[in-house]
Amino acid sequence: MIHSIRFTCVLDTNVIYPLEVRDLLFWFAHYDLYTPKWSKHIFSEWEEVMRRRGVREDEIKKRLAVANQAFPDAMVENYEPLIAGLSLPDEKDRHVLAAAIKTNANLIITNNLKDFPESLLSAYSLSAKSADDFLADTIDLNSETAVEAFRELVLYRRNPDLDAYQVLDRFRKNGLKNTANFLHSLL
């Protein structure tokens, strides 16, 4: 069940980088719908993606600092020794699995599900979900709190200011179709 801050999820880089996806994940965590976790490796990849996309260096540092300040317990430590002993289709993803094992996560949130096969994750009592599936499930289980978190996201959104329906359109464009449709039905 996804209805508690005791429900722990490791966020892969590909769900942290897109602003709209990250915003909703972070607001849901802020409202204690789950506990987010990440690692130095995940943040290094996030930095790399931002640099490739032309984000200024000062903005990169700010985004990393804001995430760590908002969720001071999210950084997983001492997971590195586990990496070498793990097997995944893409060896570059082993650090994500290692962080999930180390923190006793319930779930890995990633949009690269093929790189985290259930057959390999089940040995660690883990599974992986796409951001859209995870967020839609969270809304289903906690719709009142989820809508409250979404409304606050919209309220604090700047640059550009968008109304709730414009934000939902952005969610859809960033792969959160089910999430956006579900939230839309609740507004």
Could you tell me the pTM of the whole model?
0.93
Q: What is the mean pLDDT of the chain?
A: 93
CA distances from 129 to 23, 106, 110, 121, 165 (A): 18, 11, 6, 12, 25
| For residues 22-40, average pLDDT | 96
The dotted CATH code for 8-186 is 3.40.50.1010
Q: Given pLDDT bands bounded at 50, 70 and 90, which one contains residue 161?
A: confident
**Half-sphere exposure in the Cβ direction for 101 (13 Å, CA):** 20
Helix (H), strand (E) at residue 61: helix 57-70
Per residue in 87-115, pLDDT (tens digit) is 999 999 999 999 999 999 999 999 999 99
DSSP state of 18: S
Between 164-173 and 19-30, two packed helices, what is the crossing angle to 10 degrees?
120
Which residue is it, tokens 């599974």? Answer: 127
